[in-house]
Amino acid sequence: MDSMMMDMMSKDMMSMPDMATMDMSVLQACMDACSACEQACTVCSTQLMSCAPACMNCADMCNTMMRAMMRMQGMSPAVLMSMLDACIAMCQLCMDECMEHADHSEVCKMCAQSCQACMDACMAVKDMMMKTA
């Protein structure tokens, strides 16, 4: 994500009482991980292996997660937490499905790694929120 865009989002967040204490760099890392995961899942789904439906679900969930973090004006900490849980659960399932083919398919291996990275980034947002709450 562009640093100028991040600066602007940061200023917006400052004016939201519930969100003001969030560390923007943690959010930025999460949005970037969601975007990368959506892309990896989209490519992986075209292989038409058994993981494909999970990849399609994960691509949509990651895009919805990323956009929600870009529209914090229409979020609350509780909804954000609930969506992060759903995104983590979806990434875990997609990773598990892709790991079954990771030995034969480089794309599945890459997709599983993107899912793991997205889960980690979502958990980092959760950790930050629980510390500052």
Which residues contact a copy of itself (rule: CB under 8 A)?
1-2, 4-5, 8-9, 12, 31, 35-36, 39-40, 42-43, 45-46, 48-61, 63-64, 66-68, 70-76, 78-79, 82-83, 85-86, 89-90, 92-94, 97, 106-107, 110
Angle at the Cα of 90 (from 22 to 48), degrees rounded to 5?
135
Q: Minimum distance between the CB of residue 52 and a copy of itself, rounded to whole angstroms? A: 6
Q: Minimum distance between the CB of residue 16 and a copy of itself, rounded to whole angstroms? A: 11
Would you say 60 or 100 has its CB closer to a copy of itself? 60
Would you say 53 or 104 has its CB closer to a copy of itself? 53
Would you say 110 or 128 has its CB closer to a copy of itself? 110
| 133 burial type by CB count under 10 A (0-12 exposed, 13-18 middle, 19+ buried) | exposed
3-state class (DSSP) for residue 60: helix
Q: Minimum distance between the CB of residue 131 and a copy of itself, rounded to whole angstroms? A: 21
How many angstroms separate the CA atoms of 34 and 113, rounded? 12
Q: Residue 128: what residue type? A: M
Tokens of 22: 């969030």
How many angstroms separate the CA atoms of 10 and 1, rounded? 13
Q: Minimum distance between the CB of residue 125 and a copy of itself, rounded to whole angstroms? A: 14
